[in-house]
Amino acid sequence: MENEQQNNIQIELSEDIALGIYSNLAVIAHSSSEFVVDFVRLMPGIPKAKVQSRIILTPEHAKRLLLALTDNIKKYESQYGMIKLPVAPNFTPPIIGPVGEA
């Protein structure tokens, strides 16, 4: 049996980050070198929405995130049932700010 080396990554999670931030809308923009994902919180009856967090990813990491989310959604749905979307799959959310200029 060959010796296998494991790459152990220690991830630190501070208390303020562990609390999380609620978001009910994500606005995604991209350029040739990065994807920018703004997580927004929309409140009923309030016309102005605030970006709660911005994540900037390389195209490779954006694709890895897509694959990881797809895998996790499949696992979730196999345990809890199909996630139903309240809008048509071709729904286009409103654009907030510049798009494609990240």
Phi and psi torsions of 54, nearest 5°: -125, 130
In the prediction, which pLDDT does 1 show? 45
Q: How many domains does the chain have?
A: 1
Assess whether pLDDT exceeds 60 at residue 30: yes
61 lies in a domain?
A: yes
Per the structure, the complete domain to which residue 69 belongs is given by 20-80
Say how far apart CA 37 and CA 27 lie, in whole Å.
Answer: 6
In the prediction, which pLDDT does 85 show? 81
49 lies in a domain?
A: yes
Assess whether pLDDT exceeds 80 at residue 78: yes
Q: Is the pTM of this model over 0.85?
A: no
Give CA angle at 80 (74, 82), nearest 5°: 60
Assess whether pLDDT exceeds 70 at residue 100: no
In the prediction, which pLDDT does 33 show? 97
Instruction: Name which residue leads in pLDDT, 68 or 1.
Output: 68
25 lies in a domain?
A: yes
The encoded tokens of residue 39 equal: 């997580």
Average pLDDT, integer, range 2-14: 78
In the prediction, which pLDDT does 102 show? 46
